[in-house]
Amino acid sequence: MRGFLLSLGIIDLYSSGLKISGSDWKHGGENLQKKRESSNPSGINFQNLISIIPLSFVVFLSGCVKQPSSNQTGTAKIEQKEAVAFLSVCERTEQVQKAILEALAKTECSEVTKKELSSLLVLKINKKKLKELKSGDFSGLSSLHQLFLSVNDLNHLPVDIFSGLNSLRELDLSWNKLNHLPKGIFSGLSLLQTLNLSANDLKTLPPGLFFDLNFLQALFLSYNELRNLPPKLFSNLISLKKLYLVKNQLTFADKNHIKSQLKPYGTDIRF
């Protein structure tokens, strides 16, 4: 019954052009009544009004109020991506820590400031026997243009590993052991121009993997085990000039489908 009464009050408030906050739902008729009174000096009390309205009419009005569904709420939570936690240089993976110190010509990790991190443009962690990375390893590198991680032993990556690298232009992950890429891992890298994923163990790629990469010009996926790629995987790559897929397990149909996606952009495709 309380929900019906609140519904009637809400409709009454909407008709007055008032906005209803989350706290109004929580505290019920008291808050709604105060808002109604403040907007209507004549002092009409909707709770008194309810007492003379048939219950069937109240039920009808309550059904007219559109409340957010659980699905809508859940979608909003999924789309809202939290920023990766900042790690001090001393807390980062050993190889990442050493590469940052070398790039900044520092000897002690405790000496590195956030300002110095944000000034880095290039970070090279090639051939370092790197087996894993953790969330926050690249936090604070907001000006980074090039990140080289080739010739290591990486077989998986955290979904937020590149979060915050909004200035990144080139990312090299070639010659690792990656067998899976989580959906959303390249989210936010809207300025990325070159992505090298060659010579890994990738068998497939998740739908929408390259969705944000509107400025990507070169994508290297050769020497993997790719087959049965998702439809429209490359259709959003409007700036793509090179796509290399040499030495994979793509079928004739796969290749034709890829060509049809990129035909409008004049992309150089190599199988």
The pLDDT tens digits along the chain (271 residues) read: 444 443 444 334 434 444 444 444 344 444 544 444 444 544 545 444 444 445 444 434 444 434 434 333 333 333 334 567 899 999 999 999 999 999 999 999 999 999 999 999 999 999 999 999 999 999 999 999 999 999 999 999 999 999 999 999 999 999 999 999 999 999 999 999 999 999 999 999 999 999 999 999 999 999 999 998 999 999 999 999 999 999 999 999 999 999 999 999 999 999 9
How many angstroms separate the CA atoms of 75 and 79, rounded? 6
Q: Can you give the pLDDT at residue 82? A: 55
How many angstroms separate the CA atoms of 127 and 174, rounded? 11
Q: Is 19 helix (H, G, I), strand (E, B) or coil?
A: coil
Q: Are 26 and 37 in contact (CB under 8 A)?
A: no
The dihedral built from the CA positions of residue 156, 159, 165 and 168, taken in this order, carries a sign that is: positive
Q: Can you give the pLDDT at residue 28? A: 46
Helical pair 2-15 and 29-39, crossing angle rounded to 10 deg: 20
Phi first, then psi: what are they for 64, rounded to 5°? -85, -15
Q: Can you give the pLDDT at residue 47? A: 46
Q: Which residues pair with 21 in a beta bridge?
A: none
How many angstroms separate the CA atoms of 87 and 85, rounded? 6
Q: Can you give the pLDDT at residue 194? A: 98
pTM (2 d.p.): 0.70
Q: Can you give the pLDDT at residue 84? A: 79
